[in-house]
Structure 1
Amino acid sequence: MNQKIRKKLLFVLLTLAILAGGIIYAINWAFFDIQRISGQEYLAESTSPNGTYTVTAYLNNGGATTDYAVLCRMKNNINGKIKNIYWQYHSKQADMVWINYEIIRINNIEINVNSEIYDYRRN
């Protein structure tokens, strides 16, 4: 009897843990993952000094109740992969300057395009 209760309790706890993990993942995906955002209005484009990366900036309009935001997407020109690397609210421009082959400064925020993402909500 004690073994049976223990198995049921383990099953219930495991089910609750999986459910909680799924809910946390869904909330993060739906509200905090900038990879889901697409660019609206083209602003500018800048290619790294060695031509490996191209960063394209877009102006996004959230509608009447929100301000403009800038989204920058980085494309790896070697393998074609694209990822969002910069998301800034209350901004209408993107001043982009490459510091070296992998680091770009966008509106005074330095980002290593290989490993970093700037999201105004997390900084």
Structure 2
Amino acid sequence: MGSYTGVETEKKVVFTVLGIFLLCVLAFGIYAVYWAFYDMNRLPEGEFLTEESSPDGKYTLRAYVTNGGATTSYAVRGELVYNEKENKTKNIYWNYREEAAEISWTDKDTVVINGVSLDVPGEAFDFRHQ
């Protein structure tokens, strides 16, 4: 009976190690999909277009146009600048087939970029997920 318990213990160890390995592979796969398709920090920088500051001066929205080359159209990237936090930035707008940016603030926390209204700093618009 002693050897039977040893075999069961070995099976538990093997299945535990296999389960941990598969969990790590799954976690890596999920992160890879996020990194490749959802991470707005990987967007191309582009050429500066324009900027507008919020009415209270807390934020500035800077717009950039990116040229993907001969095979893709232009795109506009909107970058929110936290003026009170050492100019920390966050991408909040990414739209394809645009070459210009019209920016207006409707109040201290709401910005409209090319007709898309966003409550900052929490909301973002990414055409790839609409």
In the TM superposition, what whole-angstrom CA distance separates every residue of 1:43-70 from its partner, at most 9, and x where no partner exists?
1100000000000000000000000000
Identical aligned residues as a percent: 36
Shift of 1:77: 0.2
1:53 corresponds to: 59
1:84 to 70, 81, 91: 91
Q: Give the paired residue count.
A: 123
Give the TM-score taking structure 1 as reference length: 0.94
In the TM superposition, what whole-angstrom CA distance separates every residue of 1:54-97 from its partner, at most 9, and x where no partner exists?
00000000000000000010100000210100000011111111
* Separation in 1, partners of 2:45, 2:64: 5
Q: CA RMSD in A?
A: 1.1
**Runs of 4 or more off by more than 6 Å in structure 1?**
none
For structure 1, the 5+ residue unaligned runs are none
In the alignment, does 2:100 pair up with 1:96? no
1:1-123 to structure 2, matched below 5 A, reads: 1-79=7-85, 80-123=87-130
Shift of 1:26: 2.0
* Separation in 1, partners of 2:10, 2:107: 63
- Structure 1 residue matching 2:117: 3-state secondary structure: strand
For structure 2, the 5+ residue unaligned runs are 1-6
